[in-house]
């Protein structure tokens, strides 16, 4: 399906947030997806993922997650200095601010005339996978696809310690977790911690493991694994299709 791409502005706590939005080109009404990048924000590797998802029939809205700290339109380079910069921005952002952003983007999608307001989901990568998981605390979220989410098992997200594990029971939608078995950011014991917490709830959840490293779906990095990425995408698209019916 062909798509239309645009940028929109949204203000949260009087901070200008850029939203990158990809919408199916054919006229109609579609589910909406809150999409979260990794710490490098919305560079080409991330916007290509947004575009790909939109092509399956979703209105996808991706916020700049560090809009309170970085000028609008900032793309952080995925190199050593960029990693320091992105991790520092993550550390300096309050967890409550991330949560406020989630609510703002959900409301934005619900007000979009092309979005089916009762069909909202979320997806994210790395820190964005953790943010997508937390966004699923909101009752509007029917489905959350979390790709190698960092920090859920350890409480690492922003300022302070994230209470994500303790709040899992607030999730009413379904969850898909995608991990690489060679990912040192979410090692086996971390994945087990998440699994044990989920198993103590009634959340409909699925976990898929791939013999791959962290960020294996990012197509501009040395860890990129196209075979594993394609397999994961098949899971993601089937998951959203089933969740939205």
Which residue in 126, 130, 205, 225 is the catalytic one? 126
- The residue written with tokens 């899992």 in the block is 168
User: Active site includes 183?
Assistant: yes
User: Active site includes 29?
Assistant: no
- CA dihedral sign of residues 200, 36, 66, 228: positive
Which residue in 130, 183, 185, 205 is the catalytic one? 183
CA angle at residue 238 from 107 to 188, to 5 degrees? 90
Residue from 209, 150, 137 nearest 176 by CA: 209
Which residue in 67, 101, 214, 225 is the catalytic one? 214
User: Active site includes 214?
Assistant: yes
**Angle subtended by helix axes 95-111 and 127-135, to nearest 10:** 60
Check: CB of residue 126 under 8 Å from CB of residue 39. Answer: yes
Catalytic residues: 126, 183, 214
């Amino acid at each position: 399906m062909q798509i239309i791409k645009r940028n929109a502005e949204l203000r949260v706590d009087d901070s200008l947030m850029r939203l990158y939005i990809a919408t199916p080109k054919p006229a109609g009404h579609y589910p909406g997806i809150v999409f979260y990048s990794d710490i490098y924000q919305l560079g080409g590797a991330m916007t290509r993922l947004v575009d790909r998802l939109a092509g399956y029939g979703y209105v996808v809205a991706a916020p700049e997650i560090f809009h309170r700290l970085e000028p609008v339109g900032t793309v952080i380079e995925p190199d050593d200095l960029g990693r320091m910069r992105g991790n520092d921005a993550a550390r300096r952002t309050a967890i409550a601010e991330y949560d406020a952003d989630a609510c703002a983007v959900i409301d934005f999608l619900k007000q979009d005339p092309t979005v089916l307001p009762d069909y909202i989901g979320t997806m994210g990568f790395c820190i964005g996978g953790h943010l997508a998981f937390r966004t699923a605390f909101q009752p509007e979220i029917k489905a959350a696809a979390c790709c190698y989410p960092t920090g859920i098992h350890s409480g690492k997200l922003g300022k302070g310690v994230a209470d994500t594990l303790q709040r899992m029971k607030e999730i009413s939608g379904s969850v898909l977790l995608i991990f690489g078995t060679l990912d040192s950011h979410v090692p086996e014991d971390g994945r087990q911690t998440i699994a044990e917490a989920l198993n103590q709830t009634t959340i409909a959840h699925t976990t898929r493991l791939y013999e791959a490293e962290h960020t294996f779906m990012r197509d501009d990095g040395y860890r990129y694994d196209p075979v594993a990425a394609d397999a994961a995408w098949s899971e993601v698209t089937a998951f959203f299709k089933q969740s939205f019916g």
